[in-house]
Chain A
Amino acid sequence: MASRDVGSLEAQMTLTRRGMDRLRSAQATAKGFSTRKPLGAAGAVLVLILVFIAVFAPLLAPKDPYHVDPVGNRYSAPGGELILGGDEVGRDVLSRIIYGTRLSLHVGIFSVVLGIAIGAVLGISSAYVGGKFDLVVQRIVDTLMAFPGLILALAIMAVLGSGVYNVIAALVVVFVPGVTRIVRSQALSIKEMDYVTAARALGCGASRIMVRHILPNTFASLIVLATITLGWAIIVEASLSFLGAGVPADIPSWGGMLSYSAQRYIKVAPWLIIAPGVAIGVTVFSVNMLGDALRDVLDPRLRGTGSSA
């Protein structure tokens, strides 16, 4: 009895110790990351702030972003009743910027997660199964990659019409080929590793090997890829909305805010451009910094794959 108690106590202590170690190592990692990559850490903090703004948008926004007040606040200058001024129909620019954060991150995160998931599934299975399946998938990927990203997205939006989920769908189609290509090349080398052979010798099925042995080894690259793609997704969404082919005009989005006011009202109301411009710049900058730092730390092989619209 006693020995068993001691045993379980010991086991418990080991567990606690392991937990502490893990916590300490996580802390050390975070600290090491911030000293080695100060810009990356700054990017991470900014991204967290943006996520916070997006989540609590209804609490943070001083006004209803849809509330139209053409009489009182049309082109009202910043600093008055509306902190960042009013737009061409008197809506509060600050509130629209805050809700725009929500839209940018919503579209960005959804499209990136879906794009990475589909790309990973296609890439790994294409590498592992090989043969005709691989050939067909790779030819389609080749073709899709021959289309310039923004033009493909525009063509898809032409058919789907504007809408938040349509933008996400268009972005996913644009992202999947690149992700598939990168994941496939990694899976091809992982496939030849001894532990995969060992797993096969133990009688693991193809799906188990792909999910339990190949997939986890691509995680580092997937995280890096996701961060880099996120910056791109935010730019493409803004570009689509700017061109009037993204989300419907009344939904607050940074690109959309620029499109309506961009040219005609530059002289009358420059704040209509500056506010969303700064929002886009800061967001993309912080996501890029985080992505670059993560890439250097987690997966230097991906150097140079960052791209943008």
Chain B
Amino acid sequence: MTYYVVKRLLLFIPTLVLASILIFSLMRVLPGDPALLRLVGDTGATEWTAEDLARERARLGTDKPWLVQYFNWAWGMLQGDFGESMYYDTPVVDDLKERLPITIQLTIMGIGLAIIMSVPLGVISAVKQDTWIDYISRAFTVTGVAMPTFLTGILIVFILVVSFNWLPPLGYAMIWEDPVRNLQQMVLPAIALGFYDTCFIARVTRSAVLEVFREDYIRTARSKGIAERLVVYRHTLKNAMLPVITVIGWQFGRVLSGTVIIETIFVVPGMGGLLINSILHRDFTMIQGLVVLVTLMVMSVNLVVDMLYAVLDPRIRYA
């Protein structure tokens, strides 16, 4: 197990290097000059000369060869320095420190809510197969997986605005400053974010439970006269959770990108708004830093999920 984890952690290095090279070259090879964009300004009316442009490029470092630029950036990142924003001139790390925790909280709450709601829904649906409960839950989940995240978000805002005159709050309280207010603000975005996964995971849970129900050991358990409740809790659930956890692992990256949309709709000051802003301003260093960090997070979650398999299923042993 330790050997496996170390091996997987070592594999992070080439993947991250390749990821940083890919995202860096993407930002450089394709057209668009952040120096020019800064000079022109938001209105496009500002006057500038060729010397200004050269000076600006030198200041941003975009006049150096790509290779030099890449190594400067990558070397900085290894020391925790993600470079300076090409638009705001502030260190990228500062923005990330401020925004990333919010997004991580939202992601965890979204996935958490999805798990809390979907697993019971899927289990009930399977236990009561072909009853009205099952039909309603299936109709609900089928509709849910056809709804893009942003549609769910907008619909929730829409319903709240029309029926309760509610508006997305403008201020934002960090969880360590004012936990109650923070949770109040985050619950709705988290529900919107996790809605697709609630439905998707419920579907997976239902079919996983139904599959386990057909196994011989369940028939044995029932024939021994074990209470149905115990059959479900002790014998079925444990075995049915494996595919469910796989799916949750897959969904992590999707939920993380979903925050970009949900944060825009609910005015949550997380990484999403930052990313959209940097895209509008061609803030290459910011985009690079964000993408590399997000990739690292997704890879770590995948590793944790793979390790969970071994914990949950004694048959799986990584050598």
Show the binding face of A for B, using Cβ within 8 Å: 139-140, 142-144, 146-152, 154-161, 231, 235, 238-239, 242-245, 255, 258, 262-263, 266-267, 270, 273, 277, 280-281, 284-285, 288, 304, 307-309
Which residues of B have CB within 8 Å of A285? Answer: 142-143, 146
Bound CA span A262–B158, Å? 8
Report if A308-B145 is in contact (Cβ < 8 Å); known contacts: A143-B18, A143-B22, A159-B26.
Answer: yes
Instruction: Determine if B279 and A239 form an interchain contact, defined as CB atoms under 8 angstroms apart.
Output: no
Instruction: Determine if A243 and B264 form an interchain contact, defined as CB atoms under 8 angstroms apart.
Output: yes
How many A-B pairs have beta carbons closer than 8 Å: the answer is 142
Instruction: Determine if A144 and B278 form an interchain contact, defined as CB atoms under 8 angstroms apart.
Output: no
Bound CA span A219–B92, Å? 46
Report if A139-B150 is in contact (Cβ < 8 Å); known contacts: A154-B260, A266-B158.
Answer: no
Given A139-B18, A242-B261, A266-B157, 4 new contacts (CB under 8 A)? A157-B279, A159-B26, A243-B276, A281-B146
Q: How far is the CB of A111 from chain B (nearest CB, A)?
A: 16
Which residues of B have CB within 8 Å of A161? Answer: 32
Contact with B158, one of A239, A242, A270, A309 (Cβ below 8 angstroms): A270
B88 close to A (CB within 8 Å): no
Q: Which residue of A lies closest to B275 (CB)?
A: A154
Bound CA span A304–B200, Å? 10
Can you list 27 contacts pairing A with B, beta carbon distance less than 8 Å? A140-B18, A143-B15, A146-B295, A147-B291, A147-B298, A148-B295, A149-B253, A149-B254, A151-B256, A151-B291, A155-B26, A156-B26, A158-B282, A159-B30, A243-B264, A243-B276, A245-B276, A245-B279, A266-B158, A270-B158, A270-B162, A273-B154, A273-B155, A281-B146, A284-B147, A288-B145, A309-B149
Q: Which residue of B lies closest to A286 (CB)?
A: B146
Bound CA span A281–B146, Å? 6
Q: Which residue of A lies closest to B272 (CB)?
A: A243
Contact with A150, one of B32, B162, B260 (Cβ below 8 angstroms): B260
Instruction: Determine if B294 and A281 form an interchain contact, defined as CB atoms under 8 angstroms apart.
Output: no
Interface string of B253-265 (1 = CB under 8 A from A): 1101110110011
Instruction: Determine if B161 and A266 form an interchain contact, defined as CB atoms under 8 angstroms apart.
Output: yes
Bound CA span A284–B149, Å? 12
Contact with B30, one of A150, A160, A242 (Cβ below 8 angstroms): A160
Bound CA span A91–B104, Å? 40
Which residues of A have CB within 8 Å of B19? Answer: 143, 146-147
Q: How far is the CB of B42 from chain A (nearest CB, A)?
A: 15
Bound CA span A27–B157, Å? 47
B225 close to A (CB within 8 Å): no
B65 close to A (CB within 8 Å): no
Bound CA span A255–B200, Å? 22
B287 close to A (CB within 8 Å): yes
Contact with B254, one of A242, A255, A309 (Cβ below 8 angstroms): A309
- Which size bracket describes the interface of B in this complex? 35 or more
Which residues of B have CB within 8 Å of A147? Answer: 19, 23, 253, 291, 294-295, 298
Within 8 A of A (CB), among B193-213: 196, 200, 204
Report if A273-B158 is in contact (Cβ < 8 Å); known contacts: A140-B18, A148-B294.
Answer: yes
Which residues of B have CB within 8 Å of A308? Answer: 145, 148, 196, 200, 254
Instruction: Determine if B154 and A258 form an interchain contact, defined as CB atoms under 8 angstroms apart.
Output: yes
Instruction: Determine if A150 and B257 form an interchain contact, defined as CB atoms under 8 angstroms apart.
Output: yes
Contact with B148, one of A263, A267, A270, A284 (Cβ below 8 angstroms): A284
B299 close to A (CB within 8 Å): yes
Contact with B162, one of A143, A149, A242, A266 (Cβ below 8 angstroms): A266
Where chain A touches its partner, the secondary structure class is helix
B217 close to A (CB within 8 Å): no
Closest 4 CB pairs of A and B: A285-B146, A150-B257, A148-B253, A158-B279
Within 8 A of A (CB), among B159-198: 161-162, 168, 196
Which residues of A have CB within 8 Å of B275? Answer: 151, 154
Bound CA span A159–B196, Å? 29
Q: Which residue of A lies closest to B252 (CB)?
A: A148
Instruction: Determine if B27 and A277 form an interchain contact, defined as CB atoms under 8 angstroms apart.
Output: no
Instruction: Determine if B257 and A159 form an interchain contact, defined as CB atoms under 8 angstroms apart.
Output: no
Instruction: Determine if B291 and A155 form an interchain contact, defined as CB atoms under 8 angstroms apart.
Output: yes
Which residues of A have CB within 8 Å of B146? Answer: 231, 281, 284-285, 288
Q: Which residue of A lies closest to B154 (CB)?
A: A262
B250 close to A (CB within 8 Å): yes
B151 close to A (CB within 8 Å): yes
Contact with A146, one of B151, B261, B298 (Cβ below 8 angstroms): B298
Which residues of B have CB within 8 Å of A277? Answer: 151, 154-155
Instruction: Determine if A146 and B204 form an interchain contact, defined as CB atoms under 8 angstroms apart.
Output: no
Contact with A159, one of B27, B149, B247 (Cβ below 8 angstroms): B27
- Residue among A146, A231, A277, A309 with max Cβ neighbours from chain B (10 Å): A146
Interface string of B225-257 (1 = CB under 8 A from A): 000000000000000000100010010011011
Bound CA span A231–B19, Å? 27
Bound CA span A228–B172, Å? 38
B14 close to A (CB within 8 Å): yes
Q: How far is the CB of A99 from chain B (nearest CB, A)?
A: 19
Instruction: Determine if A148 and B256 form an interchain contact, defined as CB atoms under 8 angstroms apart.
Output: yes
Which residues of B have CB within 8 Å of A238? Answer: 148, 150
Instruction: Determine if B15 and A280 form an interchain contact, defined as CB atoms under 8 angstroms apart.
Output: no
